[in-house]
Amino acid sequence: MPPTPQRDFSAPTIVIGAGPHGLAAAALLNRSGEPAVILERSDGVGASWAQRYDHLRLHTTPGASKLPGLPIPRQAGPWVSRDDYVRYLEHYVAHHRLDVRVNTEVQRIERAEPGSRARWLVHTADGPVPAGAVVVATGRCHTPHTPRWPGRSTFTGTLLHSAHYRSPIPYWGRDVLVVGVGNSGTEIASVLAGAGAARVRISVRTPPNILPRSSARWHAAGRLTEVLPLAWRDRTSLLTQRLAVPDLTSRGLPRPRTGLYTRNVREKVNPVLDHGFVDAVLSGRVEPVAAVEAFDGPDVVLADGTRLRPDTVIAATGFRSDLHDLVGPLGVLDDAGQPLAVGGQCHPTAPRLYFTGYTNPLTGVLRQAGVEARAIAHALRREKARPALPLPLPGDRTTRALDKGHAPG
């Protein structure tokens, strides 16, 4: 169904971000009688997914990756590809008739004046949009993060973040160093090694917890063991890894000492689900090396003093939420810039301001989108006595800002 422009609309709730968490929140708000408008800075839904590397596949099965109210098509297979998931998100918008205003970047959120019918003002490039409630769903993976390594600017090779890596084709015959042993780093290294890169090394600061990606049981185990003591879960996870994953110590990748549950709590990281990385390390096609400490012209200096001279360095070093410009002055973020309250909870000083998509549970990030969406819809239902807030009529400055995009119908 082609997108059609909409000029006249009203909604008590603005959702910022048209990724999985924003779409799920809007769908359940609409279902509960709280119409929502989604503001998206890019020109389509699921933009952060569409921009990831070509061979990306979900690390959760379709049943654990679907959003509320619509299953992922069976033909997408057991491990859904990037393109199939983006198509699923587009279908989700049409299926739930979500009102998505693309090319509409939100600059900041402010409290409305006392006595106003609005509670919040959502500032876009062409003026403020009043809202009774706001759901921030810009996500944990908003801004690529590359460490400020000493000498980084002197590096004469190519340095890029994994967010800007697309496929292994440009790296055929090249010497590549991948920095970071999370799911993205290990997957990129494995694919590069199998696609003709001359040499692939992966820089390791902390040995990862690795599990097979053979079924959905790892995420199911996370759900079933949430009530058990952390130390017990850690011991069980480390034993599971010893039984299921070969020892890679002789290849430069020792077994982790910290259980995956403790690492998730402390560092918000999930285990690596293996899709060829272990075999690539065992065969020598991917070589683990020490952590990167600095750059020196053409050289990369490692923590053990080793100097490498790769053609390309791919930094799979994560992302930042980057919420300070959006909500920093409101006092709703912790020292790390993360929301102090997520899901159906609001910060006491910011009622009806919700955040979704800022956790990284072992039970699955995409499953969590539905969990948090239901909590937000339930929280707003409890306050449904507050009347809906009409947004501006056609022709005024705010409406023109929103009409830069389209609402799929």
Q: Quote the domain boundaries for residue 175.
A: 145-318
* Token pair 């169904």: residue: 1
Among candidate residues 286, 318, 350, the one where a domain is terminated = 318
Check whether residue 299 and residue 153 sit in a common domain: yes
Q: Give the domain-ending residue among 265, 295, 318.
A: 318
Partners of residue 315 on adjacent β-strands: 161, 179
What average pLDDT does the structure give for the chain?
89
> Which pLDDT does position 409 carry in this prediction?
31
Question: What per-residue confidence (pLDDT) applies to 240?
Answer: 84
Domains contained in the chain, number: 2
pLDDT at 191 over 50: yes
Give me the CATH number covering residue 350. 3.50.50.60
**Looking at the domain assignment, is residue 58 inside a domain?**
yes
Q: pLDDT digits over 374-404, tens only?
A: 999 999 988 765 554 444 433 333 333 334 3
Residues 370, 376, 381, 387, Cα dihedral to 10°: -130
Q: Are residues 296 and 348 in the same domain?
A: no
If asked whether residues 345 and 258 sit together in one domain, one would say no
Whether 8 is in a domain gets the answer no
Do 396 and 255 share a structural domain?
Answer: no
Band of pLDDT at residue 127, cut at 50, 70 and 90: confident
Sequence-distant (≥ 6) Cβ neighbours of residue 173 within 8 angstroms:
196, 197, 198
Residue 20's H or E segment, with its range, is: helix 20-31
Helix (H, G, I), strand (E, B) or coil at 157: coil
Mean pLDDT to the nearest integer, 355-367? 94
Claim to verify: residue 68 and residue 107 sit in the same structural domain: yes
Q: How far apart are CA 221 and CA 234, in angstroms?
A: 12
Does 192 map to a domain? Answer: yes
Residue 7 belongs to some domain of the structure: no
pLDDT of residue 407: 37
Contact call for residues 365 and 59 (beta carbons, < 8 A): no
| Domain assignment present for 128 | yes
Last residue of a domain, one of 285, 300, 318: 318
Other Cβ atoms less than 10 A from the Cβ of 400: the count is 15
pLDDT band of 83, cuts 50, 70, 90: very high
Within a 10 A sphere around the Cβ of 8, how many other Cβ atoms? 11
Q: Would residue 216 count as lying in a domain?
A: yes
Distances (CA, A) of 325 to 40, 101, 276, 328: 16, 21, 40, 6
Domain membership of residue 4 (yes or no) is no
Q: Is 106 helix (H, G, I), strand (E, B) or coil?
A: strand
pTM of the model: 0.87
Angle of CA points 228, 230, 234, to nearest 5°? 110
133 and 116 share one domain: yes
Could you say which DSSP state residue 155 is in?
A: -
| Pair 104, 164 in one domain | no
Q: Are residues 272 and 385 in the same domain?
A: no
Quick one: what percent of the chain has pLDDT higher than 90? 76
User: Rounded to an integer, what distance in angstroms lies between the CA atom of residue 409 and that of residue 119?
Assistant: 28
157 and 305 part of one domain: yes
Mean pLDDT calculated for residue range 113-121: 88
